[in-house]
Structure 1
């Protein structure tokens, strides 16, 4: 490839294929991490405003509804991760035809899954929140929150999918700016609806929808104004069976992971309702949100790795694909550890952001420490969840999600709390994640061996 690249939009591809991987990681990761931290704050904002300005019962209701709202996130990720993987590989192979047809198929998928989700979500809202363990006032508040988020489902689904496609180009800065603007809108709307207008849980849900609407509008602007690195038809509708199949197969692992997380939520909250109190439900809801937020830097690096692995795989640079996984995983651990240490040293401060004026017991702090203990090691798992789809292999990533939640999590959560009570939730989670880290590492190592024995085409100059 010529050292002088005339087309500005080709520079990103050249950078990913040829530059030092540590430099590529650093260049792409910081905006991706910022984007995911901002996105993670979106999931915390509602809890902060509801917990501080509405009350513990309202927070318990929102906590019950939170796993259900992740269905829309899962559907957006299904489309976004799948389309992003297809796009990255197409960029690596310089397949302009697939690049041009991509958005039309994304639009069709977004509309279809939104309609199905809204019909089912609105029809069975109360039953779903009840299934999570809701009862009495907690059930009513959770139902209100969930129904309103379902009404804004298209913006949750398309907004996230569009942002993931932008990241798949390697345009992490653009994705981060979109996330930042959406977060500001979410915070301002929450303040207006919850604090100023005193609309409570209902106001917080509408505020979150507004943030997602902003994501969608920014995605449309990005694609329609020619900012994308590929030819786009922003509002086109295409139904290409082979392309849709690729998008769904490569994005399925992310949806499975999120659906399995919902199953986890159903089991855990029902266990808490059976063996614990409203305070236990609210506390677990806060711990889980902190846990999710601390994963955001890992997920940011994971998103940054996707175009690097996908584009290099599409170009046949398999050794560079392997090196990318290793470098991003190491960087993820190094980045996560400082934040993890802060949360472990000062848990009262972190938990107090959502449960103010509460004196946490020694038992609760122990639960928090147990649940957070394995976070640094999860880098290997999350990187693998992106690594496999990026090399056109969605099944191994799906296996990781299904094995963790279905084979391990449900049986452990049904049995262990019967023996040792609420603490079984926290100890069980720690043990399961430790096993999954080990198993995932073995799977990745085997894939490295396969890639190294694969016949390699002529690679681009390093």
Structure 2
């Protein structure tokens, strides 16, 4: 069954499932990896180890935000070029990606490794956590040589309709990471340094598989003549990918501010709690992201081929499926929070506090799919302005002000920070609904029956 048939002709639900299930499995694998990694660190190193990893988290988000800026933007261009049978245009867009992201990976890796201590201090490492955060960061920056390339390239693989290969690359990295975590932390007793080294090596294996894919299986021509900067393509890429960039960079800003605020209100323990809770929220967010990743090549391809009805049906199905998944996963975590937190630590105070925080943070997650589908839809059709506005809502416009204001309201303290999460989720989802209704009217009421 050809890629063109899946993207352009197969029944929308089947096509979405064929593209989304591998992407969802890949994202779940990534979430499981993050959880298992934290379990190894929590039990093998301790709560300060978790705090050290939490300090590095916003740094990783910054790196990922740039990777997604280039990757998501380029993938949108590639899927539309493939839909209009412009393979040369797809090759140029991909070559532009590899050139930019390659330079970015090299300079960030070298700079980060040299200045790791100063960087983790800037991102909120206390005197107690600093040795753990710095050791972890140094080994993680080694993996940055290939990590951004892997993130950006996976978007191109999915844009081609080859979601299984994107999934395989992530599964290889996850399996390797779990094995190496155990080996370096427990067998070689390398502590937090071993955890970072395990992740960096696994990213190298991920990169090896992606390299094999582009050389042997991709329809994209990996020719060095395309590996050059193109200002026109880059402008389109940035305009489309800016929402993905804002989503990730805002998470980094939020985590950075949280590290400072949580330390002020609850010390290193509060940072450890958030480190665990964040990893568990990925268990809900990653499957939703997988569905979006399956939806985007379908929308981009059919926009290129002017098949508007197929786009409308794809969005409807995605909304229904994502809402069902987020509701079920939220309910499961909400029912057994202590049992889940207990996997990460034997510290009873950490387990009790983490369980309460987890229930608060995920309270509005059942409606989060609406927000994520809206952002992904606007990215897919090349509407950079709308996707950017929506991306700003959840973290920047709502969460940051709420997390600053609420702790001082009625002396809520750290509770004010925790309840900022569900409130911002609710407000951003409601705003997404307003955008969706407006777009619905454009699609159904416009005499041209167009998306724009």
TM range (shorter): over 0.9
Moved more, 197-206 or 229-238: 229-238
Is 1:180 the counterpart of 2:171? The answer is: yes
- Cα distance, 1:350–1:215 mapped onto 2, change above 3 Å: same
Please say if 1:126 is aligned against 2:117.
Answer: yes
Conserved 8 A contact 1:42-1:208: no
> Is the alpha carbon distance of 1:350 and 1:433 closer, same or farther for their aligned partners in structure 2, counting shifts above 3 Å?
same
Distance change in 2, residues 1:363/1:154 (3 Å): closer
1:40-65 superposed Cα distances (whole Å, 9 cap, x missing partner): 23333331211011111111111121
Q: What's 2:439 paired with?
A: 447
Q: How much has 1:218 moved relative to structure 2? A: 0.9
Q: Give TM-score, length-normalised by structure 2.
A: 0.93
Distance 2:225 2:199 in 1: 24
1:290 matches 2:280: yes
Displacement of 1:307: 0.5
Residue 276 of structure 1, CA deviation: 0.6
Query: Normalising by structure 1, what TM-score?
Result: 0.91
> Which segment is superposed worse, 37-46 or 174-183?
37-46
Matched, 1:335 2:325: yes
Question: How far did residue 92 of structure 1 move?
Answer: 1.2
Which deviates more, 282-291 or 133-142?
133-142
Seen in structure 2, the aligned counterparts of structure 1 residues 100 and 140 have a Cα distance that, compared at 3 Å, is: same
Report the equivalent of 1:109. 100
Post-superposition offset of 1:347:
0.6
The structural deviation recorded for 1:90 is 0.8
* Corresponding residue number in structure 2 for 1:57: 48
Shift of 1:377: 0.8
Residues 277 and 354, structure 2, Cα contact 8 Å, conserved in 1: no
Question: Aligned-pair distance for 1:322?
Answer: 2.1
1:92 aligns with 2:89: no
- Equivalent position of 1:38 in the other structure: 29
Q: Which residues of structure 2 form unaligned runs of 5+?
A: none
Q: Does the 8 Å CA contact 1:45/1:187 hold for their aligned counterparts? A: yes
Q: Is the 8 A contact 1:309 1:391 kept in 2?
A: yes
2:264 matched residue in structure 1 = 274
Q: CA deviation at 1:357?
A: 5.0
Shift of 1:372: 0.8
Stretches of structure 1 lacking an aligned partner (at least 5 in a row) = 1-7, 458-462
- Please give the alpha-carbon distance, in whole angstroms, between the structure 1 residues aligned to 2:346 and 2:82: 49
Superposition pairs of residues 298-447 of structure 1, within 5 angstroms: 298-356=288-346, 358=348, 364-418=354-408, 419-447=411-439
Conserved? CA contact 2:262–2:270, under 8 Å = yes
**Counterpart residue number, 1:250:** 240
1:221 aligns with 2:212: yes
Moved more, 335-344 or 126-135: 126-135
CA distance in 2, matches of 1:238, 1:125: 30
Deviations 1:95-151 (A, max 9, x none): 121122233211111123224433553465334423433211212211221232223
Q: Give RMSD over aligned pairs.
A: 2.0
| 1:131 and 1:266 in contact (8 A); partners too | no
CA distance in 1, matches of 2:285, 2:443: 28
Distance in 2, matches of 1:13 and 1:220, equals 23
Q: Distance in 1 between matches of 2:397 and 2:107?
A: 28
Greater shift after overlay, 360-369 or 147-156? 360-369
**1 CA distance for matches of 2:107 and 2:243?**
20
**Residues 181 and 198 in structure 2, CA contact (< 8 A), matched pair in contact too:** yes
Per-residue displacement from partner, 1:216-254 (whole Å, max 9, x unpaired)?
1111100111x1134443795222221222222211211
**Cα offset for 1:34?**
0.5
- Matched residue count: 447
What is the CA–CA distance in structure 1 between the aligned matches of 2:12 and 2:304, rounded to whole Å?
Answer: 17
